[in-house]
Structure 1
Amino acid sequence: MKVAATGLLLLMAAVFLVSRQFEAAYSWVGYVKAFAEAAMVGGLADWFAVTALFRHPLGLPIPHTAIIPRNKDRIGEALANFLKENFLIAPVVARRMRNIDLAGAAGRFLQAPQGEENRIRQGASRLIADLFESLDQERLGGLVKAAISARVRKMEMSPLLGHALASAINEDRHVPMLEAAIRWTARALDANEGLIRDMVHKRANWVLKLAGLDAKLADAIVDGLRKLSADMHTDPAHPVRIKIEEALAQLANDLQTKPETRARVEAIKLELLDNRSVSLWLDTLWERGREAMIRAARNPDAAMAGKLGEVLQSMGHSLEQDARLKSAINMFARRAVSGMAASYGGSIVKLVSETVRRWDAQTITNRLETTVGRDLQYIRINGTLVGGLVGLALHAVDAI
Structure 2
Amino acid sequence: MSPPVQVLAPAPSVRIDIDAEAKLSALRRTKFAATAALVLCVLVFASAKSFEGTYPWLGFVAAFAEAATIGGLADWYAVVALFKRPLGLPIPHTAIIPENQNRIADNLGRFIEVNFLAPEPVREKLAEVDFSALVADWLADAERAAGLSRFVARLVPQTLTAVEQSGLRGFVTSRMLEQIDKVPLAPLAAELLSALTDDRRHQKLFDEFTRVIGRFLNDEEALATMREKIREELPSLFNLFRADAYLLKKIVASAGSLLDEVRADPDHPMRAEFDRFARTFIERLRTSKQYARRAEQLKRDFLARPEMKALAGDMWESLSLFIEQDAKAPNSMIRAHLAAMFVEVGRHLASDAQIRADMNQGFVVALSSFVESQKSGVSKFIADQVRRWDLGQLTRLIEMNIGRDLQYIRFNGMVIGGLAGITLYTAERLFLVN
Counterpart of 1:391 (choices 414, 417, 422) is: 414
Displacement of 1:250 after TM fit?
A: 0.9
Alignment-derived partner of residue 138 in structure 2: 116
Q: Which residue does 2:12 correspond to in 1?
A: none
For residue 253 of structure 1, report the CA deviation from its aligned partner.
0.6
Aligned residue pairs: how many? 351
Whether 1:258 and 2:296 are equivalent positions in the alignment is no
Report the 3-state secondary structure (helix = DSSP H, G, I; strand = E; otherwise coil) of the residue aligned with 2:98.
coil
Q: Per the alignment, do residues 345 and 299 of structure 1 end up closer, same or farther by CA in structure 2, a change over 3 Å counting?
A: same
Say if 2:68 and 2:415, in contact at 8 Å, map to a contact too. Answer: yes
1:384–1:318 CA distance, 2 compared to 1 (3 A): closer
C-alpha contact 1:5 1:378 (8 A) present in aligned 2: yes
CA drift at 1:257? 1.1
Identical-residue share of aligned pairs (%): 15
One-letter amino acid of the counterpart of residue 338, structure 2: P
Alpha-carbon distance in structure 1 between the residues aligned to 2:69 and 2:248: 130
Identify if the C-alpha distance between structure 1 residues 268 and 352 changes in structure 2 by more than 3 Å, giving closer, same or farther: farther
Judged with a 3 Å threshold, the aligned counterparts in structure 2 of structure 1 residues 151 and 176 are, in CA distance, closer, same or farther, namely: same
Evaluate the alpha carbon distance shift between residue 37 and residue 160 of structure 1 in structure 2; reply closer, same or farther with a 3 A threshold.
Answer: farther
How far apart are 1:230 and its partner, in Å?
Answer: 3.6
> Contact 1:129–1:297 (CA<8 Å) still a contact in 2?
yes
**C-alpha spacing 1:305/1:46, structure 2 compared with 1 (3 Å):** closer
> Cα distance 1:263–1:219, how it changes in 2: closer, same or farther (>3 A)?
same
TM-score (normalizing by structure 1): 0.59
**2:181 paired with 1:145:** no
CA distances 1:77-124 after superposition (whole Å, capped 9, x unpaired): x4797499933xxxx79x959x97xxx998x999x6xx3353587787
- The counterpart of 2:25, out of the listed 1, 4, 7, is 7
Change in 2 beyond 3 A, CA 1:246/1:117: same
- The answer as to 2:277 corresponding to 1:247 is yes
Cα shift readout 1:162-185 (whole Å, capped 9, x = no counterpart)? 133223322324334443444455
How far does the alpha carbon of each residue in 1:43-71 deviate from its partner, in whole angstroms, 9 at most, with x for none?
8965774799xxxxxxxx96862644677
Corresponding position of 2:183: 155
What is the rounded CA distance, in whole Å, between the counterparts of 1:183 and 1:357 in structure 2? 87
| Alpha-carbon distance, 1:10 to partner | 1.8
Secondary structure of the residue aligned to 1:65 is: helix
The normalised TM-score by structure 2 is 0.55
Q: Cα 1:355–1:234, aligned 2, differ >3 Å: closer, same or farther?
A: farther
Q: CA RMSD in A?
A: 6.0
Letter in 2 for 1:10: R
Query: Is residue 86 from structure 1 mapped to residue 118 from structure 2 by the alignment?
Result: yes
CA contact 1:129–1:298 (8 Å) conserved in 2: no
Kindly provide the amino acid, as one letter, of the partner of residue 409 in structure 2: V
Higher mean C-alpha deviation, range 11-20 or range 141-150: 11-20
Corresponding position: 1:65 with 2:95: no
Structure possessing the higher radius of gyration over alpha carbons? 2
Distance in 1, matches of 2:138 and 2:69, equals: 57
- Secondary structure at the counterpart of residue 236 of structure 1: coil
Partner residue, 1:174:
202
- Decide which moves more: 210-219 or 39-48: 39-48
Q: Aligned partners of 2:387 and 2:409: how far apart in 1? A: 33
Counterparts of 1:155-304 in structure 2, within 5 Å, are 155-184=183-212, 186=214, 193-200=219-226, 202-203=228-229, 204-205=231-232, 207=236, 226-283=256-313, 299-303=337-341
For 2:36 and 2:352, the matched residues in 1 are separated by: 78
Contact 1:13–1:40 (CA under 8 A) maintained in structure 2? no
Equivalent in 370, 373, 379 of residue 402 of structure 2: 379
Once the two structures are TM-superposed, the CA of residue 187 in structure 1 deviates from its matched residue by 5.3
263-272 or 180-189, which moves further after superposition?
A: 180-189
Q: String of CA shifts for 1:15-40, please: whole Å, max 9, x gaps.
A: 5788879x79x99xx99xx9999999
* Alpha-carbon spacing, 1:140–1:72, altered in 2? closer, same or farther (3 Å): farther
